[in-house]
């Protein structure tokens, strides 16, 4: 982040605005809405700005800017078209450790004005760090259509009941659950339809009959997909942002994790070959323990939880312990990596079936049915097989797969680091020894790989 988003409380505080034109007027309108007392230094003043100052106890100083004008100010805004003068103001403000914004000059700003969506007390600020303000305004316009103005009424209602809810529930998790039910149920719908008295009555009734006991929580087994956060499902995102606890794997990308609720307890339970941060039995127990403590737990898995993700084992443990759960499918690596690499898994001219296979071979020996895999007109997809690539190739060749069979390695598929190499069973081991593609990687075997050079579309500049 170039800037840390912050919200200033400005009611009754003095702010210095240098410049009296139309740009200064736009800034002043925002400042007085936040309750600030605005002092303007300028030789001339826009008539509307003069009226704004008169209406909100502001002050116009019709003279040259002096250093002492900075005394006692909470913020400084320079809105002139003289960059040399603006730099002087910037340097003097920074020397006094005052926050300053020089309009339309990000290099001379210690804070920026975001595009604002006002649903007070809910306020959303959108910033491009001064690089693309029009883009920020366009995004705000989209949010204006998605977030009804009645959200302001909902926020005001919550504010009136906030202390009562805090007194009613000693547990922060129970308070959070109460508010989430309120904001997503009948009460919110009453607010959105303008029935404020009915909404307030329902909220009081819900508070009166609510049980302080937390009870058993719930576990959500969520597929995080291959790494691109835009490939998450809506349901996955919603549950991630509700969860009190998140248990996540090594293959869950940082961008996906960043979408989880900020104050959730984040627990890494990832596995690498020959190294597990927590044994599977320990993960199972942890899911049960956290749910029994009343938490909503997201078990976040790369790809899909039921495709080589041990999701079934974890659900068996939860079922036996009487813990309620839900499963949210994710886009598995076979689908994502093949699509992003430009390799269709099926094609009527090349392959009529797909076989998903784990390449994680115990003790480096294989119990895989290579004879069945040697059948033509199918696509083979090996997960977690990069370190056993030579054994996989050898097994296929020994069972009669032609040495000219096409094969692709897709490393870190669907991410900006994606790399793809293609070859044949005869050449691919040597190619990988030279390329040294890193894990995680997917191995795709079949004639569909022939299409990759023509259909490749994502991150091809490597």
127 backbone φψ class: left, alpha, beta (φ>0; ψ -120 to 50):
beta
The whole-angstrom separation of Cα 256 and Cα 310 is 20
Q: Which residue has the tokens 């793809």?
A: 420
Which tokens sit at 167? Answer: 């007194």
The rounded distance, in Å, linking the Cα atoms of 449 and 341 is 10
CA angle at 165 for the pair 160 and 166, rounded to the nearest 5°:
110
Long-range Cβ contacts of 426-429 (<8 Å, 24+ apart): 428/389, 428/393, 429/389, 429/390, 429/393
Phi and psi angles of residue 345, each rounded to the nearest 5 degrees, phi first: -70, -30
List, by residue number, the catalytic residues. 249, 271
CA distances from 93 to 89, 103, 188, 356, 410 (A): 6, 15, 45, 63, 53
The torsion angle over the Cα atoms of residues 4, 6, 10 and 14, rounded to 10 degrees, is -10
Q: Tell me if 419 sits within 8 A of 437, measured CB to CB.
A: yes
């Amino acid at each position: 982040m170039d800037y840390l988003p912050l919200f200033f409380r400005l009611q009754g505080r003095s702010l210095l605005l240098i410049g009296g034109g139309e740009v200064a007027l736009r800034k002043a309108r925002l400042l007085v809405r936040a309750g600030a007392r605005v002092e303007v230094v300028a030789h001339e003043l826009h008539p509307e700005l003069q009226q704004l100052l008169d209406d909100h106890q502001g002050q116009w100083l019709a003279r040259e800017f002096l250093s002492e004008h900075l005394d006692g100010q909470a913020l400084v805004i320079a809105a002139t078209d003289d960059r040399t003068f603006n730099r002087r103001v910037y340097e003097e403000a920074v020397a006094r450790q005052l926050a300053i914004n020089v309009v339309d000059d990000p290099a001379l700003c210690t804070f920026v004005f975001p595009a604002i969506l006002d649903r007070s007390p809910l306020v959303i600020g959108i910033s491009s760090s001064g690089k693309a303000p029009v883009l920020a305004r366009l995004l705000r316009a989209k949010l204006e259509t998605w977030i009804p103005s009645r959200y302001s009424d909902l926020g005001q209602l919550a504010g009136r009941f906030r202390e009562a809810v805090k007194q009613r529930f000693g547990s922060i998790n129970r308070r959070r659950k109460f508010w989430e039910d309120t904001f997503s149920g009948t009460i919110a719908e009453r607010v959105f339809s303008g029935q404020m008295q009915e909404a307030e009555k329902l909220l009081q009734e819900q508070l009166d009959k609510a049980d302080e006991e937390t009870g058993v929580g719930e576990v959500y087994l969520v597929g995080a997909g291959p790494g691109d956060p835009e490939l998450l499902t809506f349901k996955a995102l919603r549950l991630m942002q509700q969860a009190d606890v998140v248990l996540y794997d090594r293959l869950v990308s940082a961008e996906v994790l960043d979408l989880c609720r900020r104050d959730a307890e984040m627990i890494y339970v990832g596995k690498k070959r020959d190294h597990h941060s927590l044994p599977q039995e320990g993960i199972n127990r942890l899911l049960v323990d956290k749910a029994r403590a009343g938490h909503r737990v997201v078990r976040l898995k790369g790809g899909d939880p039921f495709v080589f993700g041990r999701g079934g084992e974890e659900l068996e443990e939860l079922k036996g312990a009487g813990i309620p759960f839900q499963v949210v499918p994710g886009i598995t690596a076979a689908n994502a990596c093949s699509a992003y690499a430009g390799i269709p898994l099926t094609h009527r001219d090349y392959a009529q079936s797909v076989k998903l296979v784990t390449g994680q071979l115990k003790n480096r020996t294989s119990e895989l049915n290579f004879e069945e895999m040697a059948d033509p007109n199918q696509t083979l997809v090996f997960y977690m097989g990069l370190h056993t690539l030579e054994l996989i190739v050898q097994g296929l060749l020994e069972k009669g797969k032609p040495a000219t069979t096409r094969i692709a390695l897709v490393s870190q598929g669907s991410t900006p680091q994606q790399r793809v190499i293609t070859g044949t069973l005869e050449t691919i081991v040597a190619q990988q020894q030279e390329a040294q593609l890193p894990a995680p990687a997917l191995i795709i075997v079949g004639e569909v790989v022939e299409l990759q050079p023509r259909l490749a579309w994502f991150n091809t500049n490597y």
